[in-house]
Amino acid sequence: QVQLVESGGGLVQAGASLRLSCAASGRPLKSYAMGWFRQAPGKEREFVAAISWNGVNTYYADSVKGRFTISRDNGKNMVYLQMNSLTSEDTAVYYCAADNQYPQVVAGFYDYWGQGTQVTVSS
């Protein structure tokens, strides 16, 4: 199985940028499609972005399209989420997740999860 550790969260002002990282260990990252999800207080976990195992196909929630970019470096076993033009609506704990087969928009299909990293955007 694969272990995932997120980093890069923090407190920023509206309009700022952050890059989240997800480090994988235990198995080669190229074995997995990857996704980013987020969960705000009192809300359900929601899909943010996903990427195929080779990085060719990417998918985004409408709320982040044009502002966020998901990428991966299989050689470094890393997945990234570049977040630009942040707003208070982006405040949440962000999780990366791995799927054995395909990029998914439904959290329940993912097989492995990290512990999350907090992103707080002040307005």
The model's pLDDT over 61-113, given as tens digits with 9 standing for 90+, comes to 999 999 999 999 999 999 999 999 999 999 999 999 999 989 899 999 999 99
* Rounded Cα gap, residues 33 and 54, in angstroms: 8
For position 64, what pLDDT does the model report?
A: 98
Two tokens at 96? Answer: 């990366």
Calculate ∠ Cα 67-71-77, nearest 5°.
145
The model's pLDDT over 2-41, given as tens digits with 9 standing for 90+, comes to 999 999 999 999 999 999 999 999 999 998 999 999 999 9
